[in-house]
Structure 1
Amino acid sequence: MHEGSCHCGAVRMKLPSTPEVATACNCSLCRRIGGPWVYFEFGTVEIQGHPEATAEYIQGDKTLRTIHCRTCGCVTHWEPLQPTPGCKHGVNLGNFDPKLIAAVRVRRLDGADTWKFMDD
């Protein structure tokens, strides 16, 4: 089980498994946030400090909320506004041990234009 947190530690996360692949997206939001993102079934990542220590940002087509720590500002994850069975949420891998980040394959996604992976 991998554990990570925002910079100040108010929001803590535990991944349910070791991610094999992460996504680096270049959409207008993700390129500003950084990342990379890993995805798990909604509700399977243990998150402490949410919602009491977090704030959210909802933009665009209003299908998801991006969550960040109210104290240090680190973006920790995003989650669907209307979760459905089996839906995913994204976790910002930048909040975890650099050794984990280095061990995960990162795919580049053109989220700004084509929504296709650029490394195929």
Structure 2
Amino acid sequence: MHEGACHCGAVRLTLPSTPTVATACNCSLCRRIGGPWVYFPFGSVQITGHPEETAAYVWGDRTLRTVRCRHCGCVTHWEPLEITPGVKHGVHLANFDPALVAAVRVRRFDGADTWRFLDE
């Protein structure tokens, strides 16, 4: 299990397993808030401080909310607006130990244009 947190520690995340692959996206939001992102089935990531210590941003096709700490502003994760079987969380891996981030293969995703991985 890997534990991470926003800068001030108000929002804490525990991953259910060790990620092996992450995504760096260049869409209009991700290129501003960074990454990399790892994905887990919705509900499998333990999140404390959410929703009482968080604020959300919903944009575009209005299918997910990007969540940040309302105190320090760090983006912690995104989650679907509609919970259906098989949906996932996106977790901002930069909130975890740098050694974990360094150990994960990061794939580049073109969310700005082609909606394809650039390193296939």
Q: Which secondary structure state, in structure 2, belongs to the residue aligned with residue 101 of structure 1?
A: helix
Aligned to 1:50: 50
Give the TM-score normalised by structure 2.
0.99
Alignment partner, residue 93 of structure 2: 93
Structure 2 counterparts to residues 48-87 of structure 1, below 5 A:
48-87=48-87
Aligned residues: 120
- Determine the C-alpha separation between the residues in 2 that align with 1:6 and 1:22: 19
The AA in structure 2 aligned to 1:35 is: G
Aligned to 1:12: 12
Q: Report deviation, 1:51.
A: 0.2
**Which 4+ runs in 1 deviate beyond 3 A?**
none
Q: Which has the higher strand share?
A: 2
SS of 1:55's equivalent in the other structure is strand
Q: Distance in 2 between matches of 1:98 and 1:112?
A: 27
TM-score in terms of structure 1 length: 0.99
**Alpha-carbon distance between aligned partners in 1 of 2:15 and 2:111, rounded to the nearest angstrom:** 24
Cα RMSD for the two superposed structures? 0.4
Superimposed CA distance per residue, residues 1-39 of structure 1 (whole angstroms, 9 cap, x where no aligned partner): 000000000000000000010000000000101010000
Structure 2: runs of 5+ lacking an equivalent: none
Which runs of no fewer than 5 residues in structure 1 stay unpaired? none
Q: Percent identity?
A: 77
